[in-house]
Amino acid sequence: MTKQLWIILVVVGLVGCASPAPPATTVRPDAPLPTATATLTPSPEPSQTPSPSPSPNPTATPFITPPPAGRPAAIPILMYHHITDLAPTESALEHDWTVAPGNLDAQMSWLVEHGFHTISLAQLAAFFTGSQPLPQKPLVLTFDDGWEDDYSTAFPILKKHNYTATFFVYTSPLDHKQFLSWSQLAEMVKAGMEIGSHTLTHPHLKDLSTEEAKKEIQDSKATLEKRLGIPITTFAYPFGDYTSAIVDQVKQAGYETAVSISGGYNQSSNQLFLLHRIRVSYKDTLPDFASRLP
């Protein structure tokens, strides 16, 4: 073998022993990927993790829970009738049962500013009978008789302040002059207002026979439920008159609550059919109004 040939063979052998890396396109999709541990940045140790900021003190729950059975809870129920301006020559009786629109607006503003939340009487019943919580400083607004100014005057003021109310109506004058119409009632229901029964004809129930009183109490409920398509669960005694027999009839008719005209704001589970109300009158100043609330 010549020297030149031997050199060529040595060079070829060295080239054949080299191991070039295969091109990337030749790696199988299912092949395990190499672990490049040398290029990874180590994760911070637990001690390097910033400590979370301390939580602020929890705020008090915005709800109240019912007291033990028979114990009172301060839940004012305000009683309104007419909402209109009166002449100074109007009778004292008219002034007792009327509130000026401007005063109603000012009273609602005061309630909002002082943190009162309106609830329905159905919610009040659930609070006492089903242990359902209520918002802090609960309040029920009620309007008796079903006068037209409930819709034309009180309803816009309530919506302005995002408040709801319970409207006790007696059914015989509905759709007649000076009283609410069925379509107005339906609109108020749709807006979140609660409707309660105030009988068919607003009689003195204690002066009626048992059957006559039963008809006033039961048929008014049935009529309202049929025309409005909602359950009617609360009742107001006309003129605030009642006897134990009448209270029993109201219970038997399927109502859950009933309101009287007795003053005060303490309500309890054993008085759900004789709930107290606070009458608001024409002569009441804003300090007068505020002084009767808890």
- Cα–Cα distance measured from residue 282 to residue 264, given in angstroms and rounded to the nearest whole number: 19
The domain of 154 spans 72-291
| pLDDT at res. 131 | 85
- Cα–Cα distance measured from residue 129 to residue 169, given in angstroms and rounded to the nearest whole number: 25
Q: What is the pLDDT of residues 142-188, one digit of tens each?
A: 999 999 999 999 999 999 999 999 999 999 999 999 999 999 999 99
- Cα–Cα distance measured from residue 154 to residue 205, given in angstroms and rounded to the nearest whole number: 28
Q: Is residue 284 part of a domain?
A: yes
Q: What is the pLDDT of residues 96-141, one digit of tens each?
A: 999 999 999 999 999 999 999 999 999 999 999 988 999 999 999 9
Say how many domains are in the chain: 1
Contact between 265 and 278 (Cβ < 8 Å): yes
Q: Is residue 53 part of a domain?
A: no
Please state, rounded to an integer, the average pLDDT across all residues of the chain: 85
| Confidence (pTM) | 0.79
- Cα–Cα distance measured from residue 227 to residue 30, given in angstroms and rounded to the nearest whole number: 72
Q: What is the pLDDT of residues 33-78, one digit of tens each?
A: 333 333 333 434 444 444 444 444 433 436 898 888 889 999 999 9
Q: Is residue 18 part of a domain?
A: no
CATH number, domain containing residue 230: 3.20.20.370
Q: Is residue 5 part of a domain?
A: no
Q: Is residue 20 part of a domain?
A: no
Residue type at position 263:
G
Q: Which residues contact 22 (CB under 8 A, 6 or more apart)?
A: none
Please determine, for residue 255, whether its predicted confidence score (pLDDT) is greater than 90.
yes
Q: Is residue 27 part of a domain?
A: no
Angle, to 10 degrees, between the axis of helix 210-228 and the axis of helix 244-252? 40
Nearest in space to 74 (alpha carbons), one of 160, 31, 134: 134
